[in-house]
Structure 1
Amino acid sequence: MRVGIVTPVVAQPPGGHADWERDAGIAEIGRIAETADRLGYHHLTCSEHVAVPLEAVKQRGGVYWDPLATFGYIAARTSRIRLATQVLVLGYHHPLAVAKRYGTLDRVSGGRLTLGLGVGSLEEEFDLLGAPFAGRGARADDALAALRASLSRRTPEYHGPHYDYAGMVVEPHAVQDRVPLWIGGRTARSLRRALTADGWVPFGLPLRALREMLASHDLPPGFDVVLEPSRRLDPIGAPDAAGAALTRLREAGATIAGVRLTSSSPGHYCEQLAALRGLSAPYDLTFEEER
């Protein structure tokens, strides 16, 4: 099982971040990204919210760094760690806008983009952006098919019920022949949607429910299941508990773990990254060679 990190600072949901993150900036994010890159971690994440209604901040948090700008900076400070949107909301964007903007990021990063995509659930944000909330699932399915047909192509063409285009040039575009697409969600429909893509990133589900949902489908070869422990890990202070939490994810079907780490400062976070990598042998975790 490979290990990536849910990048600190860039999203600060209630109870899901350390105190030091509130005042941290791009320098701290860059330091952590460089450390994770050097230690051979699989990916970093950045999620998307344009604007969160005041009444929703207590539940969702209000800090969400823009993934395109954030990853553009991180790409310049790293060389191999993957950059995973977790997640972009499909209904907020035309597929060709994603293909152009994130295809450019793929070019800038040397082919390290993973597009995590979701349907979205914040109706006020849809309204703000002039995006239809009703029927968003069907539109997302069409957008997903359009993206698969369009990424990595100079002259994409797609004809669907919601998106229809041809005779357009998108340059630059993604350099990967097949940009990995992960689908976020917590429903059976999200898993079915993910099976048309390359991976599933569920959230908020008990491991037993996840095992049952995964067991009800024949997963294609190379399909990734990206799971997060329910709590932040402390590989320095509680290495056995950290290892046990990752073992439970693997037993539930995870091929990749996305972890949050307990930390008191950016330096402590980097120390935790090194300590977690040190658990790779006893807990069968996979990292790239350390540099």
Structure 2
Amino acid sequence: MKIGINSPVVVQLPGAFSPWEAEAGIDELGAVAETADALGFDFLTCSEHVMVPADIAAQRGGTYWDPLATFGYLAARTTRIRLATQVLVLGYHHPLAIAKRYGTLDRVSGGRLVLGLGVGSLEEEFALLGATFEGRGAIADDALRALRASLSQPRPTYDGEHFAFRDVVVEPHAVQPKVPLWIGGRTPRSLRRAVELADGWVPFGLSPTELATLLGRVDLPAGFEVVLSPERALDPTREPGATADALGVLAEAGATSASVRVAADSAQHYREQLAALAAHLPAAE
């Protein structure tokens, strides 16, 4: 099971981030990324919200760094670690806008993009952006098909129910022949969407038993990625046994990758925790 880092600083959920993150900036984040890259972790994450209503921010948090700008910077400070949006909301973007912007990121990072994508649930944000909330699942499915047709193509063509284009040039485009697409969500429908239209599933808010049950109901394609997260931040320095147990629970539930947070009281402490966590990485091939 590979291990990726649920990046600190960039998302600050109430009760789930450390005080040092509120004061940290790009230098601290860049140092963490460099350490994760050098140690052999599989990916870094960054999520997306354009805005969160003030009354909802108390539950969902209000700090969300823009993934495109953040990853553009981190791409220059790393060499091999993958850069995973976790997640972009499909309804906020035209598929060709994602293909152009994130295809460019794939180019400048040397083919390290992973597009984590979701349907979205914050109706107020849809309304602010002029995006369609009702029927967003069907629109997202069509967007996924359009993305698959366009991400790695300089002259994409697509004719779908909600999106259609031809005789266009999108340059630069992604350098990966097939950019990995991960679908976020916690419902059976999100898992079916991931199996049918994407390359991986990133669920949230489900117990290991619930995850194992859902995964047991579907036939996963070869190479399909299941990215699960421990229920709490890991403390590999002080609790190596508990860390191993937590990762083992994810593997038993069907994870191919773990997306983890580590407990830390500073950026330097975070890097030290990553060094301890690296003992649990799979052996290099």
User: Normalising TM by the smaller chain, what interval?
Assistant: over 0.9
Superposition pairs for residues 78-97 of structure 1, below 5 Å? 78-97=78-97
- Structure 1 segments, 4+ long, off by >3 Å, are none
Shift of 1:287: 5.9
Give CA-to-partner distance per residue, 1:19-60, whole Å, 9 cap, x none.
100000000000000000000000000000001000110110
The question of whether the paired residues in 2 share the 8 Å contact of 1:182 and 1:194 is answered with yes
Superposition pairs for residues 31-180 of structure 1, below 5 Å? 31-180=31-180
Give CA-to-partner distance per residue, 1:208-260, whole Å, 9 cap, x none.
01101000011110000000000000000101001100000000000000000
Which residue of structure 1 aligns with residue 186 of structure 2?
186
Gaps of 5+ in 1: none
Question: Aligned pairs, how many?
Answer: 284
| SS of match in other structure, 1:45 | strand
Separation of aligned partners in 1, 2:70 and 2:110: 16
TM value normalised by structure 1:
0.97
Which residue of structure 1 aligns with residue 255 of structure 2?
254
Give CA-to-partner distance per residue, 1:130-179, whole Å, 9 cap, x none.
00100000000000010011111000011000001100000000000000
The question of whether the paired residues in 2 share the 8 Å contact of 1:84 and 1:114 is answered with yes
Separation of aligned partners in 1, 2:199 and 2:158: 20
Structure 2 CA distance for partners of 1:185 and 1:53, relative to 1, 3 Å: same
| SS of match in other structure, 1:30 | helix
Separation of aligned partners in 1, 2:50 and 2:213: 34
Which residue of structure 2 aligns with residue 286 of structure 1?
282
| SS of match in other structure, 1:200 | strand
Separation of aligned partners in 2, 1:24 and 1:61: 16
Separation of aligned partners in 1, 2:202 and 2:45: 12
The question of whether the paired residues in 2 share the 8 Å contact of 1:150 and 1:157 is answered with yes
| SS of match in other structure, 1:195 | helix
TM value normalised by structure 2:
0.99
Gaps of 5+ in 2: none
Indicate the percent of aligned positions where both proteins have the same amino acid: 67
Which residue of structure 2 aligns with residue 270 of structure 1?
271
Shift of 1:288: 5.0
Separation of aligned partners in 1, 2:145 and 2:283: 32
Separation of aligned partners in 2, 1:189 and 1:288: 35
Separation of aligned partners in 2, 1:68 and 1:226: 21
Structure 2 CA distance for partners of 1:287 and 1:70, relative to 1, 3 Å: farther
